[in-house]
Amino acid sequence: MPNFLDIDPVPDHLLEELGYRWGRDVDGAYLLKEKIIQLSENEALEFYKAADHLYEMYEEAAEYVIQKKLYNALDIPPSMVDLIQESWHTQRDQHLYSRFDLSGGLDGLPIKLIEFNADTPTMLLESSLLQWMLVQYNKMDDAKQANNIYEALREKFASLSQKNEQYTRFLFSSVDGIEEEIQTTKFLQRIARDAGVVENFSFMHDTNFQTDLIRDSNNVSYDYWFKLYPWEDVAFDEKELLEILHSVKTKVLNPAYTLLYQSKGMLKILYDLFPRSEYLLESSFTPLEKKHVKKPSFGREGANVEIIDKNSQVLSSRSGPYEKSKSIYQEFADFARDDEGNFYQAGVFFSTKACGLGFRKGSEIMDDMSQFVGHILTSQ
């Protein structure tokens, strides 16, 4: 069982002042509870080590996919191929941020890759700011966390800006009406501002794509455009926007090649290339003859996921809108559990390198009702 520490929860009004107005459970309470996980500095370093190593493996696997043209196997639509290839060659160092979901790492369980949220990962505000706020509110002044997400992103924005000899402008966009996405985008915008770059915010529907550079509603052009809108949604649902993005000079963050990383089909490619990796679970495009998980190549929040036993019986499942997506079959992994039977999954944020750790508490299939859990580090 994870090692917990009881704390006082941050009052709702302080969370709302911060902009955190989503993540409520069925009782209407925010999904930040009265406990945080204690783990050793060595355990945290092992999570970071896993993420750093896995990212290198993803880079090798993406190069392999591009060389072998395995796009169809990864459920990548043909309309995305040119953008993926171009961004792979011109924007390799411009992957802004991502999040690895990992099982194990607690209770003596080995760390295993569950999936990689490479394009529009959630839990950024919780992992970078809110779990730090939990420690501050409880006056644990000497407490340490594996959490330098803010600093890593600030350094990344500064680095991107310095690559241009001229003034560099960043535009940040999200869809209107989804509070989590708006606040996450504005949080990234604030980090960019702290990095000293010129920035602005524009909702997707107010953004002008009709010229060679992406512009805001005041017709100001930008060198970089961050969109909190998944590449797979652009590819499958926004054909007109996709056509425009083939010709604009503004660089899009995250780059188009992150759609390769986002595809869970990469789990099969990784396992083929690195079958002896301590971090990988057996993965296949066909059902496994052992307990395994069936998941869509592009899916979110546990939708359309099934847990299947070795006799092909479905043990647990979630419905969702991704039934047309290709299926990936991954060996079942054990998660750390508490004495109430809840499961705990680690999330490691990555920006140039591993930079932040957080946890989610939920059922065997982590869905949109899973609860964020913060952490502190001990010296042991």
- What Å distances lie between residue 81 and 76, 89, 99, 124, 231, CA to CA? 8, 13, 23, 29, 12
pLDDT for 371 beyond 70:
yes
Reported as a single tens digit per residue, the pLDDT across 251-287 is 999 999 999 999 999 999 999 999 999 999 999 999 9
pTM value?
0.94
% of the chain at pLDDT higher than 90: 73
329, part of any domain: no
Mean pLDDT of the region 242-246: 93
- Secondary structure string (H, E, C) spanning 157-174: HHHHHHCCCCCCEEEEEC
220, part of any domain: yes
Which of 338, 328, 291, 337 is CA-nearest to residue 312?
291
Token readout for 103 is: 């099982």
Reported as a single tens digit per residue, the pLDDT across 321-349 is 888 889 999 999 999 999 899 999 999 99
Give the CA-trace dihedral at 191, 213, 237, 243, to 10 degrees.
Answer: -150
Q: Specify the pLDDT at position 30.
A: 45
Tell me which amino acid residue 227 is: K
CB 61 within 8 A of CB 270: yes
Reported as a single tens digit per residue, the pLDDT across 20-45 is 766 655 555 445 568 899 999 999 99
Q: How many separate domains does the chain show?
A: 1
Mean pLDDT of the region 4-12: 86
300, part of any domain: no
* Residue bearing the bigger pLDDT, 294 or 164: 294
134, part of any domain: yes
304, part of any domain: no
pLDDT for 356 beyond 50:
yes
Mean pLDDT of the region 160-188: 87
316, part of any domain: no
Give the pairing of strands 306-308 and 314-317: antiparallel
Range of the domain at 370: 3-263+335-378
292, part of any domain: no
186, part of any domain: yes
For the ranges 111-115, 173-177, 361-365, which has the lowest average pLDDT?
Answer: 361-365
